[in-house]
Amino acid sequence: MASEIKPVVSYDETLAKLDIRVGRVVEVELETRTHKQTYRMVVDFGKYGKRLSFGRFTCHPVEEVKDRLVLGVLNFTPRPMGPVTSEVLIVGVQYPKAESGEATFVSPAVNAKIGSKLF
């Protein structure tokens, strides 16, 4: 039997309110001040600027993360993560067979333009 899904909502009251855009990871390094292994990533969103993001994408090696196209939610409030604050949420899903919270990226399948909006 299929799992229950959340109630139906309209586009205008949900996705239309989010500013989700394509960015490119231009800097990445392991962040050691957080409770769990986390990457510190600087993501370039073109005319929307560079934003700092902290995320648990550490099942991917640093070389695989740098220059990757990602989707980021630009209009969430900054989120404290222990002693650091993430300015943008990079969209991901659970990494297969990894511990809870460890993510893999949701990325464009082709070389999309930096700053493009998800629709």
The answer to whether position 114 is within a domain reads no
Q: What is the CATH number of the domain that holds 58?
A: 2.40.50.140
The answer to whether position 10 is within a domain reads no
In this prediction the pTM is 0.92
The answer to whether position 95 is within a domain reads yes
| Number of independent structural domains in the chain | 1
The answer to whether position 94 is within a domain reads yes
> Tokens 């464009």 identify what position?
108
Domain that holds residue 62: 18-105
pLDDT tens, position by position, 5-57: 999 999 998 999 999 999 999 999 999 999 899 999 999 999 999 999 999 99
The answer to whether position 11 is within a domain reads no
**Mean pLDDT (whole number) for 74-82:** 95
pLDDT tens, position by position, 44-73: 999 999 999 999 999 999 999 999 999 999
